């Protein structure tokens, strides 16, 4: 009886997810590219493939090198041009892409009064410029300042030829890695600025793609003491391959790579490869995922939870009865916000 009673609800959530996902009609299937020119600025890059080495083998070698010395891969020079004006922090990204718009980081500032607690908030993929600002305002009222960063190729940082943040995750393999590296480094720069403002109790909140970036940042920055991962998964490739909202990327990749080979090509940006490094740092973490997620499939989220439990991470898990897109809808967004705010109030 119990299993039968669930089915209508699950179908209803699934139908709602599909409507929300496909209301966007501007997804573009882009041509597959290895994009080796995007790897030229990485510390692990030594040479282009030669002596019969295939491009795929070379990219796999780059990924292994990045993981082996990930502290160097995500290292950077601290910006010297932080400027806060009209509630927006701006600085030049230490990672130089070929797009001027993308190289200027924007982060909206929501200060709380008389508090040394602050979080950097990373929105979801294709979030509009005002996305998650309600959560930031709520946190500031609760005594936690929030710095909402615009992710690479998003909103303020989007090149004019784009309608969506296609360059952040796409069928261009190395550009996707480069965008992730830039996101992690830009986030760490935000913590640099918070330190200069006297904040010493620091946390991070990431949603969807922002959650992936947040995990990578937290694994490489010991200033972050509290983490909130709103959606979580293991491999970037698996999300792209199975997710409802990323099928246009899969269509560009699939004639050239299967999911196993794509996983190898994106190892350096997959959180699963840094969980031991993440677990070695002393911090508290909240993992939120949804039971009917069609983008970050629940089995991937359960795998993350199983792994961090095996590693002894101090954590809490919340499973919400909705999907990926419906998490942003009433009533689920308020339930989600409650869990995020209450966890930060308690632990930060």
206-218: pLDDT as tens digits: 999 999 999 999 9
How sure is the predictor about 1, in pLDDT bands with cuts at 50, 70 and 90? very low
Give me the count of residues in the chain: 348
pLDDT band at 2, cuts 50/70/90? very low
Residues 114-140: what's their mean pLDDT?
95
pLDDT band at 241 (very low <50, low <70, confident <90, very high): very high
- The band of 46, judged by pLDDT with boundaries at 50, 70 and 90, is low
In this structure, of 45-49, 281-285, 337-341, the range with the lowest mean pLDDT score is: 45-49
Q: Tell me how far apart the terminal alpha carbons of the chain are, to the nearest angstrom.
A: 43
Say what the pLDDT of residue 49 is. 67
Q: Is the pLDDT of residue 248 over 60?
A: yes
User: Which tokens is 277 given?
Assistant: 């490094």
- pLDDT confidence bin for 330, thresholds 50/70/90: very high
Question: How far apart are the C-alpha atoms of 282 and 287, rounded to whole Å?
Answer: 16
pLDDT at 51: 73
H helices then E strands: how many in the chain? 13, 9
Core vs surface per residue 204-240: b (16+ CB within 10 A) or e: bbbbbbbbbbbbbbbbbbebbbbbbbbbbbbbbbbbb
What tokens appear for 223 in the block? 């200033």
- Examine the pLDDT at 260 and tell me if it is beyond 50: yes
pLDDT > 90? residue 291? yes
Q: Is the pLDDT of residue 6 over 60?
A: no
Question: Does domain 2-347 fall into CATH 3.40.50.1820?
Answer: yes
Average per-residue pLDDT for the chain: 95
Q: What is the pLDDT of residues 150-173, one digit of tens each?
A: 999 999 999 999 999 999 999 999
Q: What stretch of H or E contains 284?
A: strand 284-290
The pTM of the full predicted model, rounded to 2 decimals, is 0.95
């Amino acid at each position: 009886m119990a299993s039968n009673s669930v089915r209508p609800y699950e179908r209803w959530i699934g139908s709602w997810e599909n409507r929300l996902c496909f209301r966007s009609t501007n997804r573009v299937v882009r041509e597959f590219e290895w994009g080796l020119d995007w790897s030229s600025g990485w510390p692990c890059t030594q040479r282009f493939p030669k002596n019969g080495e295939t491009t795929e083998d070379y990219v796999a070698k780059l990924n292994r090198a990045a993981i082996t010395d990930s502290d160097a891969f995500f290292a950077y020079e601290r910006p010297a041009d932080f400027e806060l004006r009209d509630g927006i922090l701006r600085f030049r990204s230490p990672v130089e892409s070929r797009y001027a718009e993308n190289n200027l980081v924007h982060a909206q500032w929501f200060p709380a009064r008389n508090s040394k607690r602050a979080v950097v908030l990373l929105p979801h993929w294709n979030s509009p410029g005002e996305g998650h600002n309600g959560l930031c305002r709520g946190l500031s009222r609760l005594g936690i300042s929030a710095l909402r960063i615009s992710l690479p190729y998003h909103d303020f940082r989007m090149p004019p030829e784009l309608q969506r943040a296609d360059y952040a995750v796409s069928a261009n393999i190395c550009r996707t890695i480069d965008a992730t590296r830039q996101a992690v480094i830009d986030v760490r720069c935000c913590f640099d600025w918070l330190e200069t403002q006297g904040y010493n109790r620091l946390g991070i909140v990431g949603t969807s793609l922002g959650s992936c970036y947040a995990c990578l940042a937290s694994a490489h920055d010991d200033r972050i003491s509290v983490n909130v991962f709103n959606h979580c998964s293991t491999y970037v490739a698996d999300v792209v391959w199975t997710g409802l909202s990323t099928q246009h990327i899969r269509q560009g990749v699939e004639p050239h790579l299967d999911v196993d080979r794509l996983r190898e090509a994106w190892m350096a940006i997959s959180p699963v490869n840094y969980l031991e490094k993440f677990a070695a740092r002393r911090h508290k973490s909240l993992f939120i995922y949804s039971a009917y997620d069609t983008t970050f499939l629940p089995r991937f989220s359960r795998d993350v939870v199983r792994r961090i439990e095996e590693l002894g991470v101090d954590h809490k898990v919340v499973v919400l009865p909705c999907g990926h897109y419906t998490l942003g809808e009433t009533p689920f967004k308020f339930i989600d916000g409650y869990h995020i705010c209450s966890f930060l109030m308690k632990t930060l």
